[in-house]
Amino acid sequence: MGELKRVTVVGAGTMGSQIALQTALSGRYDVTLVDTVKGQLARARQKLVDRSVEKQRLSREKADRAMGLIDDEDNLAVAVAGADLVIEAVIESFDAKKAVFEDLGKPAKKDAILASNSSTIVISRLADFTGRPERCCNMHFFHPVTVMQLCEVVRGPKTSAVQKGLNWPMGPFHLLDFSGLDIFYGAMQDRHRLGEGPEPPELLAKLVREGRLGRKTGRGFFAYD
């Protein structure tokens, strides 16, 4: 593989759009953000810029300039055809991620790196669907991506890995609140069913039952205005 020049991010939700923005802000790569849901790309752009400016993470000028470097695409095959690195960032659902990795196999470049942003679904469960598991890895960005300067790169059985953490501006319970307690709860249930981990703790189950899912509902382990 030559120099990494083009990055494609699959999924224009909260994580995907932030990963695309952070990549564009580096000024080193051409970035494509792909989502097949009608209107999602436009919504993601507006929300991301407004949120970044509101939180004073970026100036309006810098945010607009970075978003101008991101190409939108609603066709996955077209979006990944020229990419050196593809980062899957769809919802934390095995079936959804499996569908993406199945679709990546043929159109992606033979030497492209195919990464999943999942923190709970190991790449060994997804890699074989591409037909090239040796090119696959987990690449987990922490939320919010533009604040948390932390990314895990984790190998599968047939890949090599690097892990590097930079910065930790919030504790683990704040991090769970930002990520969504329901997401973490579902992931723990899934891993328990597979015999890969314990059941979710009762405190976590109680918070989820009460609808206290973290930052997005206003309350989780902590309360938010």
Distance CA 19, CA 193 (A): 30
Whether residue 140 lies in the annotated active site: yes
pLDDT tens figures, 97-153: 999 999 998 999 999 999 999 988 889 899 999 999 999 999 988 888 877 777 878
pLDDT of residue 142: 84
pLDDT tens figures, 50-70: 777 787 777 888 888 888 889
CA–CA–CA angle 168, 90, 72 (5° rounding): 100
Six token digits for residue 190? 């899934």
Say which of 140, 143, 174, 192 is annotated catalytic: 140
Mean pLDDT of 31-54: 84
Task: Quote the percentage of the chain above a pLDDT of 90.
Answer: 45
Integer distance in angstroms from the first to the last C-alpha of the chain?
Answer: 47
Distance CA 36, CA 40 (A): 8
> Is the confidence at residue 189, as pLDDT, over 60?
yes
Check if the beta carbon of residue 83 is closer than 8 Å to that of residue 109: yes
Distance CA 220, CA 214 (A): 4
Six token digits for residue 145? 């991506």
Label residues 1-27 b or e (16+ Cβ within 10 Å = b): eeeeebbbbbbbebbbbbbbbbbbbee
Whole-structure pTM value: 0.71
Confidence class of residue 95 from pLDDT cuts 50, 70 and 90? very high
> Is the confidence at residue 167, as pLDDT, over 60?
no
> Is the confidence at residue 165, as pLDDT, over 50?
no
- Domains of the chain (ranges; CATH) run 6-165 (3.40.50.720), 172-217 (1.10.1040.10)
